[in-house]
Amino acid sequence: MATLRTLPKNRDRISFLYFEHCRIEQEQQAIIVFKEESKYLIPCAAIATLLLGPGTSITHAAIKALADNICNIQWVGENLSRFYATGRSGANNTHRLLHQISLWADPIQRLATVRRMYMFRFQEPLSDDLSLQQIRGHEGVRVRTLYQHWSKETGIEWTGRNYKQNDWNAADPTNKALSLANTYLYAVCQAAIESVGYAPALGFIHTGKPLSFVYDIADLYKGETTIPAAFEGTAEARPSEFDSVIRRKCRERFTSTRLMPRLVQDIDSVLEFGSSDDSEQSLCLLWDDVLDSVEGGKNWSISEG
């Protein structure tokens, strides 16, 4: 198994690779991807995250080689339209997780984080004397204005956000498109959150759901991605190709806004997480009620014992 000292830093790796309808096998510390008549040899240590789409089969040996090289593996839907499961996180330490918990558990820090998230959407300072309820009111106006803008831009009639989870067919096409587009955005955001070690359930604005933090982060981008994609897709799509057009529109928006390269940096920013060396080997410390943490020896794995 490679040690953290011998692995490249995360910033030097390929951020993610996506494969579907292929077979993946292991060769030493690399994987071979067999797709149709082609094959690709990829060093495991060169990838931060491997996304496995439909029709993919992967050997046990390949999974082990990827895990040994601390490559995060995620099982997703077509073109990342769903997020199904994740393997070992690509994070080498718990710095981000502990930072997120510290903000979430402190009411003052949590409120400050919520304000930063809203400021990210507005892209302008918020007055210090605004209450959280007033900020939410401003956000509601902003979103309604966005809906009206894209309704006028695309010629699609808009009567408001209205859908029922237990009655999908009752929604109009634009509401269906928004729901589909948001599902794709949630998958992309969850992939980024999981890959660097944040907890999807510890939301600041949303709460009580396993993906509360995913919803928090996705809301930062809906105005520039899923809302325009949904209205444009509704205006262009025939009923028989509705889902595929919405998916394509989302993919185009995610690409043009450079969503994937921005996500982790933006999350770190709104949580005010300082830079850290991702390749740093942290000792396994013991918690101390006075000193916070102290050195306490080494935990030996079975392979080392």
Closest among 5, 19, 25, 24 to 70, alpha carbons compared: 5
Q: Which two tokens stand for residue 285?
A: 């410390």
Backbone phi, then psi, for 285, in 5-degree steps?
-95, 165
Tokens 């393997």 sit on residue: 87
Three-state SS at 56? strand
Cα distance between residue 172 and residue 203, in whole Å: 30
Q: What are the sequence ranges of the domains in the chain?
A: 10-86, 95-270
Closest among 49, 83, 44 to 64, alpha carbons compared: 44
Backbone phi, then psi, for 41, in 5-degree steps?
-100, 120
Tokens 């799509």 sit on residue: 237
Cα distance between residue 70 and residue 253, in whole Å: 30
Instruction: Please list, in sequence order, all residues whose beta carbon lies within 8 angstroms of the beta carbon of residue 223, skipping any fewer than 6 positions away.
Output: 121, 142, 143, 146
- Provide the residue type at 48 as one letter: A
Cα distance between residue 177 and residue 222, in whole Å: 13
User: Going residue by residue through the chain (305 aa), what tens digit of pLDDT does each one get?
Assistant: 444 444 555 566 777 788 999 999 999 889 999 998 888 899 988 888 888 999 999 999 999 898 888 788 889 888 777 888 877 666 678 899 999 999 999 999 999 999 999 999 987 778 888 899 999 999 999 999 999 999 999 999 999 988 777 777 788 899 999 999 999 999 899 888 988 889 999 999 999 999 999 999 999 999 999 999 999 999 998 888 999 999 999 999 999 999 988 999 999 999 999 865 544 445 677 777 777 777 765 555 544 44
- Locate the DSSP E strands across the chain: 17-19, 22-27, 30-35, 38-43, 49-52, 56-58, 72-76, 83-86, 285-288, 292-295
**What CATH class does 10-86 carry?**
alpha beta
**What CATH class does 95-270 carry?**
mainly alpha
Burial (Cβ within 10 Å: 0-12, 13-18, ≥19) of residue 17: middle
Instruction: Please list, in sequence order, all residues whose beta carbon lies within 8 angstroms of the beta carbon of residue 242, skipping any fewer than 6 positions away.
Output: 173, 176, 177, 233
pTM: 0.76
Cα distance between residue 125 and residue 115, in whole Å: 10
